Amino acid sequence: MDREFLIDLFADFGPVTIRKMFSGHGISADGTNFALALRAGLFLRADELTIPDFEAEGSKPFQYSTRAKTVTVNSYWELPARLFDDSQELAQWARAALAAAQRAKVKQRPRGKKASKKAASQPAKKAVKSAKAPNKASKKSPVRKRARRRG
* Model confidence pLDDT, tens digit, residues 45-92: 999 999 999 999 999 999 999 999 999 999 999 999 999 999 999 999
CA distance 102 to 96: 10
pLDDT at 121: 53
Q: What percent of the chain has pLDDT over 90?
A: 62
* Model confidence pLDDT, tens digit, residues 133-144: 555 555 555 555
Residue 132 amino acid letter = K
Give yes or no for residue 123 having a pLDDT over 70.
no
Domain boundaries, the chain: 3-111, 120-150
Looking at every residue in the chain, the average pLDDT score rounds to: 82
pLDDT at 42: 96
CATH fold for the domain made of 3-111:
Yope Regulator; Chain: A, (3.30.1460)
Following CA atoms 35, 40, 46, 47 in sequence, which dihedral angle do they give, to the nearest 10 degrees? Answer: -140
Q: What share of the chain is helix, strand, coil (3-state, %, to 5)?
A: 50, 25, 25
| Predicted structure pTM score | 0.69
